[in-house]
């Protein structure tokens, strides 16, 4: 961790169990993801000093904000944090300008107003300074909340599901604005979100939390493609999680084979697991390639799987296919194809279909 980063280790049993260790460098955006009750928001509140854990410490830059062992506990007001609450928590009786100005108590009173104008301009709210929160849209309120958080000249920016209360279009726009804003602020940013796409798009690193514990952390792509276990895979939205047995390692061909429901699947050599060991494996839908019925190709030799389409859901321009494996009514592969492609291939409930499971997309995990 660099000199201006944040490092924390917090532990508690009540009101929700929590035992996490997190590091975030200056300029890094770290996303905390996980189901409701996993402790994401409690972590932000603890960093802000709004919640006291049983034990642990929080170091931000050179400062110690919390150290239960040494009985150090800085109040929220002394921590210089920028906090964007889920519903923004704007002061309803103050205008947008006053909402920002009130957080500039540390600035000389003569320059306070000018600075507040600058911050509102930075978040594209020029001209709306005199509006009360009631007179602003959801996106505009979020921008005021962000300007207010930045007004504090924070040492860390805490974003608690900041995009959850706005529509999809506004969300995309605000997310882009956050990416632009990040270039100018070299502080750690912690983002709590339920939205995995959002986390993958915005974050440098992900922390996957479950029941107050960190299951895995890493770059979004790594966590998504290489989950540590089936639970992480499920939390990352994977549908295709199965159990199998390691069949063989073929070093000369650079392949590992696994035995799965009567099939032998090939994947890139992975000697982490011994031959004969039971494992879980996962494949991302992007690595499931549907065969064209009218024109077979060479690619079909790669882990071919045959089955019957059990469900076909058209969602806009895509179609979600559930393929029941041949001879196994309890196992489904789920993947998406474009609606156009589904129609051209004559996909419909009850028809036979074949797919290839790309070797590079099969990821092995210890059996849970």
Partner 1 sequence: MDTVALALSLKLAFWTCIILCPLAIFFGRLLAWQHFPGKALLEAVIALPLVLPPTVLGFYLLIGMGSNSSLGQFYHSITGNHLVFTFDGLLLASVIFNLPFAIQPMQRAFEAIPNNIREAAWCCGLSKLESLWRIELPLAWPGAVSALALTFAHTLGEFGVVLMVGGNIEGETKTIAISIYDRVQAFDNNTAGIMSAALLLFSLVTIGLVYRLTYRRRRYGR
Q: Give the binding site for partner 1 (CB under 8 A).
A: 48-50, 75-77, 80-83, 85, 87, 89-93, 102-103, 105-106, 134, 148-149, 151-152
C-alpha dihedral sign at 99, 41, 140, 165: negative
Give the residues across from 158 on adjacent strands.
83, 190
Report the distance separating Cα 54 and Cα 221, nearest Å: 34
In the DSSP assignment, the letter for residue 292 is: P
Residue 152 vs 291, nearer CB to partner 1: 152
Which CA distances in Å does 12 have to 97, 111, 160, 354? 39, 43, 20, 50
Report DSSP letters for 39-78, one per residue: SHHHHHHHHHTSS--SEEEEEETTEEEEEGGGTEE--GGG
Question: Least distance in Å: CB of 81 to partner 1?
Answer: 6
Torsion from C-alpha of 227, 230, 235, 240, nearest 10 degrees: 90
Residue 103 vs 206, nearer CB to partner 1: 103
Question: Least distance in Å: CB of 144 to partner 1?
Answer: 11
Residue 163 vs 242, nearer CB to partner 1: 163
Residue 134 vs 184, nearer CB to partner 1: 134
Nearest to 255, CA basis, from 263, 264, 319: 264
The answer to whether the CB of 361 falls within 8 A of the CB of 284 is yes
Residue 34 vs 133, nearer CB to partner 1: 133
Question: Least distance in Å: CB of 161 to partner 1?
Answer: 12
Question: Least distance in Å: CB of 170 to partner 1?
Answer: 21
Residue 102 vs 269, nearer CB to partner 1: 102
Output the CA angle 254-259-265, nearest 5 degrees. 50
Residue 48 vs 233, nearer CB to partner 1: 48
Question: Least distance in Å: CB of 240 to partner 1?
Answer: 40
Question: Least distance in Å: CB of 89 to partner 1?
Answer: 4
Question: Least distance in Å: CB of 119 to partner 1?
Answer: 13
Report the distance separating Cα 76 and Cα 246, nearest Å: 53
Preceding peptide of 15 cis, ω within 30°: yes
Strands, sheet with 288-290, edge to edge from the N-terminal-most edge strand: 288-290, 352-357, 304-315, 318-325, 332-338
């Amino acid at each position: 961790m660099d000199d201006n980063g944040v490092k924390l280790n917090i532990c508690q049993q009540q009101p929700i169990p929590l035992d996490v260790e997190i590091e975030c460098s200056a300029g890094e955006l770290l996303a905390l993801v996980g189901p409701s009750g996993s402790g994401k928001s409690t972590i932000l509140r603890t960093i802000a000093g709004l919640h006291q854990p049983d034990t642990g410490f929080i170091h931000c830059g050179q400062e110690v904000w919390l150290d239960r062992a040494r009985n150090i506990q800085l109040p929220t007001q002394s921590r210089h944090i920028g906090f964007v609450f889920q519903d923004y928590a704007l002061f309803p009786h103050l205008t947008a300008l006053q909402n920002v100005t009130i957080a500039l108590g540390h600035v000389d009173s003569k320059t306070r107003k000018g600075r507040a104008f600058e911050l509102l301009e930075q978040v594209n709210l020029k001209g709306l300074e005199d509006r009360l929160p009631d007179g602003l849209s959801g996106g505009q309120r979020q921008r005021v909340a962000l300007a207010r958080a930045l007004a504090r000249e924070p040492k860390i920016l805490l974003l608690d599901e900041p995009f959850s209360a706005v529509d999809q279009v506004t969300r995309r726009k605000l997310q882009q604005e956050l990416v632009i804003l990040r270039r100018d602020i070299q502080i750690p940013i912690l983002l709590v979100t339920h939205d995995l796409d959002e986390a993958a798009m915005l974050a440098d690193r992900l922390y996957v939390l479950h029941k107050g514990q960190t299951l895995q952390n890493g770059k979004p792509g790594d966590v998504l493609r290489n989950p540590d276990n089936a639970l992480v895979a499920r939390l990352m939205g994977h549908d295709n999680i199965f159990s199998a047995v390691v069949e063989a390692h073929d070093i000369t061909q650079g392949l590992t084979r696994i035995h799965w429901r009567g099939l032998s699947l090939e994947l890139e050599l992975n000697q982490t697991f011994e031959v004969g060991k039971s494992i879980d494996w996962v494949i991302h839908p992007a690595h499931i390639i549907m065969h064209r019925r009218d024109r077979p190709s060479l690619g079909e030799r790669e882990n071919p799987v045959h089955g019957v389409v059990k469900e076909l859901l058209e969602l806009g321009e895509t179609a979600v296919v559930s393929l029941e494996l041949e001879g196994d009514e309890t196992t489904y592969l789920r993947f998406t194809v474009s609606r156009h492609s589904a129609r051209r291939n004559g996909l419909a409930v009850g028809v036979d279909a074949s797919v290839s499971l790309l070797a590079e997309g099969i990821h092995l995990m210890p059996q849970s």
